[in-house]
Amino acid sequence: DAGITQSPRHKVTETGTPVTLRCHQTENHRYMYWYRQDPGHGLRLIHYSYGVKDTDKGEVSDGYSVSRSKTEDFLLTLESATSSQTSVYFCAISKADGQPQHFGDGTRLSIL
């Protein structure tokens, strides 16, 4: 499996609190992605990065911000978590656009 580590794997928090999820890769891949997966919706792209300090929005970016200060780390932040952000979050990496994406094992986030 591709060297992708997501942390934490599980988190329960309260509405209004800030939350940061981390994706760490050891493959030196240029592209990194954050998706969320909810029942009946498949996976939806939140944000992605095409290099250090280069990021762009996906289809469901409202309420989320990202940062990538190093090649190996891509952080997803919920500034003020809401119950609608309860979901499973997946990080993915790829060498370049057009190349297959490799996914992490996900972070299950519950916001009460």
Using CB under 8 A, list all residues that contact other proteins: 31, 33, 40-45, 48, 50, 58-59, 90, 92, 94, 96-106
CB of 3 to other proteins, least distance (A): 13
Residues whose CB is less than 8 angstroms from the CB of residue 42 and which lie 6 or more positions away in sequence, other chains included: none
If the CB atoms of residues 17 and 96 are measured against other proteins, the closer one turns out to be 96
CB 30 within 8 A of CB 98: no
d(CA 54, CA 44): 20
CB of 81 to other proteins, least distance (A): 22
The torsion angle over the Cα atoms of residues 91, 52, 1 and 85, rounded to 10 degrees, is: -10
If the CB atoms of residues 62 and 97 are measured against other proteins, the closer one turns out to be 97
If the CB atoms of residues 56 and 79 are measured against other proteins, the closer one turns out to be 56
CB of 71 to other proteins, least distance (A): 16
If the CB atoms of residues 17 and 26 are measured against other proteins, the closer one turns out to be 26
d(CA 89, CA 97): 21
